Amino acid sequence: MHRILALAVAFSSITLTNAFAHHPLGGEVPQTLLHGFLSGVGHPVIGFDHFAFVVAIGLIAAFHKQRAIMPAGFVLGTMAGTMMTISAIALPFAELVITASVIVAGVIAMRGKLTSIVPMTAGATVIGLFHGWAYGAAVVGAEATPIIAYLAGFGLVQMAIALLAGYVAVNMWKATSAASLQPRLAGALMAGVGVAYMVELVEGLVFPAM
């Protein structure tokens, strides 16, 4: 398992690029309902740290009877976090918390043990505040209509990603329990992405661009 995690970290380090900083619509504030929705759909996919966390949440929740509860808690948290950004409410160390959340979620998925859904949902909701707070920067200054569409876009796509991850683990990989191999490999990859991004973040703090 240590070798798997090491390979995942190495693979992630190679594949991660400046896509973290890219945003749909070229970073412009959405002006219409359609632009708001497209921007919302794009952010959880383009932001690979966010994407990795949503996949990990889907894998963690996959073997619960109510597999949608944990992802739904996270999505509600992201919506609240976005509204915090719009309301100019700051969250400390947001990038570090987001990165750490990817690592922790990946490790939990990799452990291959069924988790207690209530504390995990509560934790996912709190972490969602930080992910959503980062999402909110894209719609600061936008009108109400594109903001609502933006929330709908990233809410729907995150639920779809999480549920699809669970579906793939259970139905396509034929995993019968949280201890099955494939979800653990996927969790290792999520943890690897988080580690790689953490290294990139720390490097940026230690060696800031002049």
Per-residue pLDDT of the chain (210 residues; tens, 9 = 90+): 444 444 444 444 444 444 434 455 666 889 999 999 999 998 888 777 888 899 989 988 988 888 999 999 999 999 999 999 999 999 999 989 998 998 888 888 877 777 889 999 999 999 999 999 999 999 999 999 999 999 999 999 999 999 998 888 877 767 667 666 566 666 667 676 776 677 667 767 766 654
Q: How far is CA 45 from CA 38, 88, 117, 135, 177, in A?
A: 11, 25, 25, 12, 27
Structure tokens at 20: 């973290």
Structure tokens at 62: 């996959």
Residue spans of the domains in the chain: they are 34-202
Identify whether the C-beta of residue 54 lies closer than 8 Å to the C-beta of residue 159. no
Structure tokens at 137: 């920067």
* d(C-alpha 50, C-alpha 58), whole Å: 13
As a three-state string, the secondary structure of 67-128 is CCHHHHHHHHHHHHHHHHHHCCCCCCCHHHHHHHHHHHHHHHHHHCCCCCHHHHHHHHHHHH
Query: Whole-model pTM?
Result: 0.78
Q: How far is CA 38 from CA 70, 132, 148, in A?
A: 24, 16, 12
| Amino acid letter, residue 112 | G
